[in-house]
Amino acid sequence: MSAGNGEGWDGNRQRGAGGGNGPAAQAPRGGLLNRFVRLPPGPGRGGHRVPPARSGHRCVADNANLYVFGGYNPDYDESGGPENEDYPLFRELWRYNFATGTWHQMGTEGYMPRELASMSLVLHGNNLLVFGGTGIPFGESNGNDVHVCNVKYKRWALFNCRGKKPNRIYGQAMAIINGSLYVFGGTTGYIYSTDLHKLDLNTREWTQLKPNNMHCDMPEERYRHEIAHDGQRIYILGGGTSWTAYSLDKIHAYNLETNTWEEIATKPHKKKDFPAARRCHSCVQIKNDVFVCGGYNGEVILGDIWKLSLQTFQWVKLPAVMPEPVYFHCAAVTPDPQMEF
C-alpha cells in the first residue's frame, strides 16, 4: 500500500516521541520528575489483554494514549507461543488509553513493517512515522523505508520518498525539526554509523548532510543513542557499539545553521557527578530539559534518571529510581507533560 498521493498521511506538527510500557513516572506541574506510579487496569476491565513483555520496542504518546509498536522477546511462551506468527518479534501496535486505563491491540489495514526491533518512531499529528529497524536474525534483514500509520484511520502506508535513502540500519535515533525528519547513526549489524540524513516531509526528499568538520571532530560511530534538540542544534546523548558505551560528560551537537559538529562540555551534579556512560537507554524532552533513563554501560544495567538543561548544560540526578534497572526499553512524554515507560 502506497502513500504516494498522501493516503493515510496528514502534515500536522509533531506531538510526541519516545517508547515503552508498564510503570509510569509522573511530573508534577512546575516540579521535578521524582516519583513513579504504576498504571493499573481500568476498573471492571480485568479481562482486557495487556502487551507481553518485550524489548527493542518503541512508543510515543499524545494527551489521550500511549502507542507501543514492535519489540522482541525470545521466550516462546511469553511472546505468545503458537499464536505469534512473528516469534520472537511482535508485529503489532498497542494503544493504552489514559482515561480508561486499558490496553487495546489495534487492528490496522495496510502493510505493517516487518523490521520490528530497534527501529525509530515519532508521532507527527495523527501519524506514526517508523524508520529502519531489524528483523531476525539481527542485522540480516534491516529496513530503510519510512512507514506511516494514521492512528485515527488505523491505516499503514509506505511514505514514498525521492533521493538516496539512508543505508538499511537499526538502532538509529531520529526527530522532527522544522518540518524535516533527521536521522543519525545506527548500525547495519556489522558497521556502525555517524551518517546524518534529513528527510523533508513536504517534498519527501532525502538528503545526506555533509558537515563542515574534519573526521577527527565528528562524533564516534554508534547505535542505541538518543537525541534531543532546541531548534538550532541536535544533541547526541550516549549510545555505543557492542563493545563500548559513550560518556555524557561531553556531548556532540550538530548545528543546523552552520552545518558543523560541536563538542559541548556539560556541568556535573553537585560539582563532581556525571551520568555513567550508557547505551540502550531512553530519553524524553520537556521544553529545554532532557531526561535520560536507565540503559547499559557494558557491565551494569542502570536504573537512574538524570535531567540535562539544554540552556545551561547542567546535569541533575533525580531522586527517583526506576522500579528496576532496564535497557532496550523506551519512554514517551505526553504534551501535558507526564512520562510513560
Q: Give me the domain span that covers residue 45.
A: 14-219+318-340
Domain assignment present for 161: yes
CA gap 37, 91 in Å, rounded: 28
Domain assignment present for 299: no
Domain assignment present for 270: no
Q: How many separate domains does the chain show? A: 1
Q: What CATH number is attached to the domain comprising 213?
A: 2.120.10.80
Domain assignment present for 36: yes
Domain assignment present for 192: yes
Residue 26: predicted pLDDT: 39
Domain assignment present for 80: yes
pTM of the full structure: 0.88
**What sign does the CA torsion over 331, 273, 302, 223 have?**
positive
Domain assignment present for 40: yes
Residue 321: strand pairing partners: 304
Domain assignment present for 73: yes
Residues 189-217: tens digit of each pLDDT:
999 999 999 999 999 999 999 999 998 89
Closest CA to 173 of 131, 141, 136: 131
More confident residue, 22 or 234: 234
CA gap 245, 237 in Å, rounded: 11
CA gap 341, 296 in Å, rounded: 16
Residue whose cell numbers read 524524553:
284
DSSP letters for 80-125: TGGG-TTTTB---EEEEETTTTEEEEPP-BS---S--BS-EEEEET
Residues 287-324: tens digit of each pLDDT:
999 999 999 999 999 999 999 999 999 999 999 889 99
Residue 216: predicted pLDDT: 85
pLDDT at position 31 over 90 = no
Residue whose cell numbers read 516462546:
76
